[in-house]
Amino acid sequence: MDRTVHGTARIALACLDLTSLGERDTEADVIALCARASGRHGAVAAVCVWSRFARLARERAAASVRVAAVANFPDGSTDLARALRDIDAIVAAGAQEVDLVLPWRALLAGDDTACAALLRAARHASAGLTLKVILETGELRDAATIDRAARLALAEGADFLKTSTGKTRVGATPQAADVMLRAIATDAAARSRVGFKAAGGIRTVADASAYVEAVELTLGAQALVAARFRLGASSLLGDIEAVLDGAAGAAPHEGT
C-alpha cells in the first residue's frame, strides 16, 4: 500500500464512472461527456447518464468505455413499473450497466419485502448487464441499517454495491464504505465477484484515495480494477488529469 499520488490517480482514472445527471442535461452535455471520457491519459471505465441518454452515449462513447444509466433515480421509490421502464430503456439502448436506487425509505420503514421485490424484478430485467445497487447510505442513519441494505442487495443478485446518488446532503463516506465492503467480504457468494462503487462528493484524488485504500484492505489489491471498483463523479477527472500532468514530481501519498 505504499502508493504514490500518481498510482492512486491511475487507479481512479481506470475505475472512474464519469457522470452527468443534472436535471437540465441535454444531448450536447452527453456528447461532451463522452468526448471527455477518453482523454490524454487514457479512458475512464464508464460514463453514467440518465436512461433517456443511454443510446446516445452508446453511439458517442469510445468502444472501451462502458455506458451506465440510472433507474429508479434519484428518489428510490417502490414504483416497480417505473423502475422497469427505466431498465427496459437502458437494455434497449445497448448500455452495459444499470445503477438502480434501492427503495431506502421502504427499508427504513421496515418493508424489506418491497425492497427485495423491486431488486429481484430489476435483476431479472437487467439480466446480462452489470447491476449496481445504490443504497443511499447517507440517509440510512447507522451501520446496522447500511449492513442490512447491503446484504439485501447481495441476496438479490447485485453486481456492485454503490454508496449514494449524489443527490442528498451526505454522499459517500469511508465509514459507510467499510460497512459495505465488510458485507461483500463476508458473503461467500459475493467476496470474489461483487464490486464496490463510491459516489457522492468525491472531487479529488485525495478524496478517492480513502476508497482505494479501503477496497485494497478489505477485498485485496486484485479488486482495484474496473470490474470490482468504481468511483462515481463528475469533477474528479479534472484533478486526476492535473495529478498525472505533474506525475514526474509526484510524492508518496500519505495513507495509501
Cα-atom radius of gyration of the chain, to the nearest Å?
A: 17
**Residue 253 pLDDT > 70:** no
Return the pLDDT at 247.
62
Residues counted in the chain: 256
For the chain, the average pLDDT equals: 95
109 occurs within a structural domain: yes
248 occurs within a structural domain: no
59 occurs within a structural domain: yes
Is the backbone of residue 128 left (phi > 0), alpha (psi -120 to 50) or beta?
left
Q: Kindly give, in sequence order, each residue whose CB lies less than 8 Å from that of residue 58, ignoring residues fewer than 6 positions away.
A: 67, 93, 94, 95
Q: From CA 115, how far away is CA 150, in angstroms rounded?
A: 12
Which domain, by its residues, includes 206? Answer: 5-231
252 occurs within a structural domain: no
φ and ψ at residue 71, rounded to 5 degrees = -135, 145
Tell me how many domains the chain contains: 1
**Residue 256 pLDDT > 60:** no
Return the pLDDT at 2.
64
221 occurs within a structural domain: yes
Return the pLDDT at 141.
85
| Residue from 235, 254, 226, 232 nearest 65 by CA | 226
- Can you give the CATH number for the domain in which 101 is found? 3.20.20.70
239 occurs within a structural domain: no
**Residue 137 pLDDT > 70:** yes
Mean pLDDT within 213-229? 98
159 occurs within a structural domain: yes
Mean pLDDT within 184-208? 98
Residues annotated as catalytic are 99, 162, 197
25-83: pLDDT as tens digits: 999 999 999 999 999 999 999 999 999 999 999 999 999 999 999 999 999 999 999 99
